[in-house]
Amino acid sequence: MIRTERLRKVYFPPRSAPVEGVKSATLAVEPGEIFGLLGPNGAGKTTLLRMLGTIIVPTSGHCWIAGLRTDQNPDAVRQHIGFLSGNTKLYGRLTAREELRYFGYLHGLSKERIRRRTEELVEILGMEEFIDRRCDTLSTGQSQKVSIGRVLLHDPEVLILDEPTTGLDIMTCQTILTFIRNAKHSGRSIIFSTHYMTEAEILCDRLAFIHHGEILATGAKESLYEKTGTTNLTDAFVRLVNDANAVPS
């Protein structure tokens, strides 16, 4: 459902040397799988996910979403994607219902389809109490539920989640984690970026460690532990980074 082949992104800032944000990333995510993308801030996670989401264009390499190459028909690809980040913003002057309706129209949904999907999501996400309140009056947890509804409104097969729990309180984090589990059970392909190793250990079927734009290793938790001689993701990541930084003798 998600596939990349030697995906690379180079930035060319004015009056300074080029910066390689992602270096030749190759990975695949199957339906019904949560694939974790782990690394510290600045590792290249967001750059990689934005290429998958057709937000930025790769310098080289290719990626496919639902069998479509992202650089050939990005509008069609977007119909298969739900993109959620930790800093997703809502339009404060709109009610939660109007927010969903607006994004439904952007996705080309009919008025009746938007109405039905809104009713379904209100029930699934427990938004009955605030669906007709303005978004600038909502709590953090309520706002995040609206953001999730916005992501799911067009019923995408692929979810791209870019550090969606960063800076959130415990209860709101639980809302996000429950949403991710339910999405997996419904057969969606999920790529989940985080620097919280505990979340990744709980949720992810397979993972990739990324550091300085390079994918250091990919696999199930058990295979990564075996490869690194460790028993948790934090130690595994540190071992891989140390090995990558080691100067050959």
pLDDT tens-digit series, residues 195-247:
888 899 999 999 999 999 999 999 999 999 999 999 999 999 999 999 988 74
pLDDT digits (tens, 9 = 90+) for 6-62: 999 999 999 899 999 999 999 999 999 999 999 988 899 999 999 999 999 999 999
For the stretch 47-74, pLDDT in tens is 999 999 999 999 999 999 999 999 998 9
Residue spans in the chain of domains classed CATH 3.40.50.300:
2-80+157-244
195, 163 Cβ separation under 8 angstroms: yes
Q: Residue type at 173?
A: C
Rounded-to-integer distance, Cα 44 and Cα 125, Å:
31
pLDDT surpasses 50 at 249: no
CATH fold for the domain made of 2-80+157-244: Rossmann fold (3.40.50)
CA 79-59-44 angle, to 5 degrees, is 80
Which of 180, 138, 175 has its CA nearest to residue 159? Answer: 180
Beta carbons of 21 and 27 less than 8 angstroms apart: no
